Chain A
Amino acid sequence: MRLIKLKYTKWYNIMKQGLSESNPIAIAVLGICSALAVTNRVENAIAMGLGVTFVIIASSATISLMRNFIPSKVRMVTYMVVISTYVIAVQMFLEAFYSDIATALGAYVGLIITNCIVMGRAEAYAVKNPVHYSIIDGLANGLGYTYVLVVVAIIREMLAFGTILNYQVLPDTWENWVVMAMAPGGFFILGMFIWLIRELTKNYEVVN
């Protein structure tokens, strides 16, 4: 009984939107740069996903709190300043506690600022809605982004190195597909992933 009730609550619907129906990567195709560049290793993908999730939640909450004070003419610059503050926090955190991952991600941590998902959620949701819904929306989109990243990274790391999270999963006779660790592998796997998701959800893109 409670489960049925759950289906009609607003936060359940927000979660569903972010995770499947309007998934930021698979359906809306936003924030692709980082999704492709860091997914050659699963640990990098997890770090990037969590970093982006944190930035989306924090910046959505902040912008939602300030939504009545931001003049609409300078709102873009305001978003930029808020987002970059949180990105700097993520960058310093990674450098202090996980310096290996920080080196592997390099400039891509800083590029979370221009990740269209963060900007998009601020503009499309946080600036119009109260704080608690903005936080759930940020969480949903962040998790939707993270799970696509992790799935793509698992496929790429397995084919490129025969490992997942540095544990050997394929037999020693496996011939490593080096191209999967490079840019083309990312493009191919993400293209195939989008095809699969659209075919499974029957959510076809209208091309004119």
Chain B
Amino acid sequence: MGNSIEIFISSMTNNNIALIYILGMCPLIAISTSIKNAKGMGLAVIFVVTITAIINYPIYHLLKTTGTTQISLLVFIITIAATVQFLEMFLEKYLPKLYNTFGIYLPLITVNCVVLAVSLFFVNREYSFIETVSFSVGSSVGWLIAIVLLAAIREKMAKKSDVPRGLAGKGITFIILGILSLAFIGFTGLASI
């Protein structure tokens, strides 16, 4: 149990999936123009990452007993696509309020590398089921923290700063991400994964 708490904290801070492992960059850069959208996307990611990790864990162990782990990539990606599709339909029908908050971000999540990466990392690191759950929740919360921080900085910068023309837009976003990433390296040694 203690180990899974450590994994949870570590995957949010010194092993942050966005700023240290550099994953999920496309949506991180595309959607971080306003805090509201960033929050919606972050919540959708938490939801999908946790559910797919819980589904993929038993499937991987089934593949392991039958000795067909080579195709795990193919199986994972199909699970993710199916889960996202199912969640979208389910939320639209039964929880329209929740659907309005982050429904529009769901289709974008299939190509978010965080979802697949969490499934691949628990395989590489040989986590138990509880560790997998805490790792998936921790990483996706870490991703939410990163995107909201970035969006807040970009919102302020859009009003006040005078960025060189060639650097405006994507270029300056990378510089901000670099500085944020340096800050998160400061957490090194807080907890180990």
Contact = CB atoms under 8 A, between A and B. Distances in A.
A136 to B, nearest CB: 24
A182 B185 contact: yes
Interface stretch (A15-23, A77-85, A138-146, A154-162): A77-85
A110 B170 CA distance: 26
Contact of A205 (B21, B115, B169, B181): B169
Contacts of B175: 187-188, 191
B174 A191 contact: yes
The secondary structure that dominates the B interface is helix
B171 A76 contact: no
B182 interface: yes
B2 interface: no
Interface string B34-45: 000000000000
A186 B22 contact: yes
A91 B20 contact: no
Interface string B160-191: 00001111111111110111011001000000
Contacts of B98: none
Contacts of B19: 183
Interface string B4-44: 00000000000000011111111001000000000000000
B117 A191 contact: no
B182 A114 contact: no
A188 to B, nearest CB: 4
Contacts of A131: none
A153 interface: no
Interface stretch (B59-67, B74-82, B86-94, B128-136): B74-82
B101 interface: no
A182 to B, nearest CB: 7
Contacts of B23: 33, 37, 111
A38 B77 CA distance: 22
A107 B28 CA distance: 20
Contacts, number: 126
B182 A204 contact: no
B33 to A, nearest CB: 10
B167 A191 contact: yes
Contacts of B117: 107, 111
A164 interface: no
Contacts of B112: 114
Nearest to B82: A77
B116 interface: yes
Nearest to A198: B166
A88 B70 contact: yes
A199 interface: yes
Given A36-B25, A119-B111, A81 B74 contact: yes
A204 B172 CA distance: 13
A204 B166 contact: yes
B166 A195 contact: yes
B1 interface: no
Given A29-B29, A111-B113, A85 B74 contact: yes
Nearest to B113: A114
B104 interface: no
Given A107-B120, A195-B167, 16 more contacts: A32-B29, A36-B25, A77-B81, A81-B78, A106-B124, A113-B116, A114-B111, A183-B19, A183-B21, A183-B181, A186-B178, A194-B167, A195-B171, A198-B166, A198-B171, A207-B168
11 contacts: A81-B78, A107-B117, A107-B121, A110-B120, A183-B185, A185-B178, A186-B22, A191-B175, A194-B167, A198-B171, A199-B166
